[in-house]
Amino acid sequence: MPEPITRRNLALGGVSLLAGSSLASPSRAEFDKFLGIGEGMEDFWLATDAYIYGYPLVTMEMTRKIVTNVAAPVGTRAPMGTIIRLREYPNASFRDVTAPNADTLYTTAFFDVGKEPWVLSIPDMNGRYFLMPMLDGWTNVFQVPGKRTTGTGAQTYAITGPGWKGTLPSGVKEYKSQTSIVWLLGRIYCTGTPEDYAEVHKLQDAFKLVPLSSYGKPYTPPPGTVDPSVDMKMAVREQVNRMDAVSYFTLLSKLMKDNPPAAADALQIAKFARIGIVPGQDFDASKLKADFLKRVPEVAFDRIMIQFKTNKEVRDEKGWGFTTKTGIYGTDYLMRALVTAIGLGANRPQDAIYPTSLKDSEGRKYSGANKYVMRFPKGQLPPVNGFWSLTMYDADYFFVDNPINRYSISARQNLKSNPDGSTDLYIQNESPGKDRESNWLPAPKGDFILMLRMYWPNEKSPSIINGTWKIPPVSKAMA
Instruction: Give domain limits for the chain.
Output: 15-61+235-337, 84-214, 355-476
Rounded Cα–Cα distance for residues 143 and 366 (Å):
38
Distances (CA, A) of 311 to 128, 306, 308: 36, 8, 6
User: How crowded is residue 96: how many other Cβ atoms within 10 Å of its Cβ?
Assistant: 11
Domain 355-476 fold: Jelly Rolls (2.60.120)
Which residues, in sequence order, are bridge partners of residue 176?
160
Tens digits of residue pLDDT in 347-398 = 999 999 999 999 999 999 999 999 999 999 999 999 999 999 999 999 988 9
Residue in 3, 8, 148, 127 with CA at minimum distance from that of residue 62? 3
Q: Exposed e or buried b for every residue in 248-279, given b needs 16+ CB within 10 A?
A: bbbbbbebbebbbbbeebeeebeebeebbbbb
Q: Are 172 and 130 in contact (CB under 8 A)?
A: no
Q: How many CB atoms lie within 10 A of CB 216?
A: 10
pLDDT digits (tens, 9 = 90+) for 255-300: 999 999 999 999 999 999 999 999 999 999 999 887 788 999 999 9
The answer to whether residue 117 scores a pLDDT higher than 50 is yes
Closest CA to 145 of 163, 166, 165, 123: 123
Is 0.85 topped by the overall pTM? yes
pLDDT digits (tens, 9 = 90+) for 57-104: 999 999 999 999 999 999 999 999 999 999 999 889 887 777 888 999
Q: Helices in 132-178 by DSSP H: which ranges?
A: none
Q: What is the CATH number of domain 84-214?
A: 2.60.40.1610
- Can you point out the beta strands (E) in 339-407? 352-353, 356-357, 372-376, 384-394
- Listed residue (259, 240, 47) closest to 138, CA to CA: 259
